[in-house]
Amino acid sequence: MYLVCGEALFDFFSEDDAGGRASQVNFQAIAGGSPFNVAVGLRRLGVDAALFAGLSTDYLGRRLRQVLHDEGVNPDYLLDVPAPTTLAMVALGADGVPQYSFRGEGCADRQLHLADLPELDSRVRGLHVGSFSLVVQPVADTLLALVRRERGRRLISLDPNVRLNPAPDLEQWRQRIETLAALADLIKVSDEDLHLLYPDREPRDVIEGWLRHHCQLVFLTRGAEGATVFSRAHGHWSAPAVPIKMADTVGAGDTFQAALIAWLTERQLDSLEAVARLSREQIEQMLRFAIHAAALTCGKTGPDLPYRHQLN
């Protein structure tokens, strides 16, 4: 089982107003949050998954819990929190790339404290952390403590998934990502994230710095340009994107992340030792599997992550 850690929220997508009245705005609300999506994505790809998160006891929080139940995500690490559910207001650009505005101060998914850290048994093969839960408090320090405690015992994956609206301090992001990158075994990062974090540095230089620590593999996603993998053992190379009629990119990065973990788990390679021994051919298969999965999500509106049979 893989334990995904971090936020769970509702994305509110604005819809075209048929009547054109300025006093009326229509929204479609979809359960989301990057870690939430990764947990759901793992289950859809056939991997046992749990989510370590604070869920509100309000109506939307109960809906999030119901979605997780319906998707088969293990509920053992969910905590009920008497605070509101985070809301993310999403506007899509002409290229399908989402712009986010968060309403999350004091909300339930941030209220994980050190006292809430779970004890993990042998079922949990790995941990995944990412997105703004890495930097907003108190959840940020709680997740860092969990990663530090479990380093070397379980596979640890990281996706920065930078969101400046809930946490606009770039230096805070840089410091926390550098700390976690030194602890992770596998990292997935977008070219947009690296440009935000390090506008004056080449992505390759940043990634090779990460590989000098504990990390074995870094996957750099580049949207329509495909993705590049950097391996400590085998160097770096790229693979093209899968041509698809684009709807939007919401959830594509989360799908890519879930697919990486699923590929390893299917082959019983989701351990520290196995990842370090992966051949170039195996990493190539892993990369193309994740690109294919992400393309399927881009062909649908919103974070509608694919099922395993769709990738055969």
Residues paired with residue 49 on neighbouring β-strands, in sequence order: 2
pLDDT the model gives residue 145: 98
Nearest alpha carbon to residue 209 among 181, 186, 238: 181
The CATH class for the domain spanning 2-13+29-305 reads: alpha beta
Q: With CA atoms as reference, report the closest residue to 269 among 120, 125, 73.
A: 125
What pLDDT, on a 0 to 100 scale, did the predictor assign at position 233?
Answer: 95
Cis peptide before 199 (omega within 30 of 0): no
DSSP-derived letter for residue 82 is S
Residues 6+ apart with CB under 8 A from 291: 226, 227, 239, 240, 241, 242, 256
Per-residue pLDDT of the chain (312 residues; tens, 9 = 90+): 999 999 999 988 877 665 667 677 788 889 999 999 999 999 999 999 999 999 999 999 999 999 999 999 999 999 999 999 999 887 766 666 677 788 999 999 999 999 999 999 999 999 999 999 999 999 999 999 999 999 999 999 999 999 998 899 999 999 999 999 999 999 999 999 999 999 999 999 999 999 999 999 999 999 999 999 999 999 999 999 999 888 888 899 999 999 999 999 999 999 999 999 999 999 999 999 999 999 999 998 778 899 999 998
Q: In this structure, are residues 161 and 193 in contact, taking their beta carbons and an 8 Å threshold?
A: yes
- Please, what's the largest Cα pairwise distance for the chain? 60
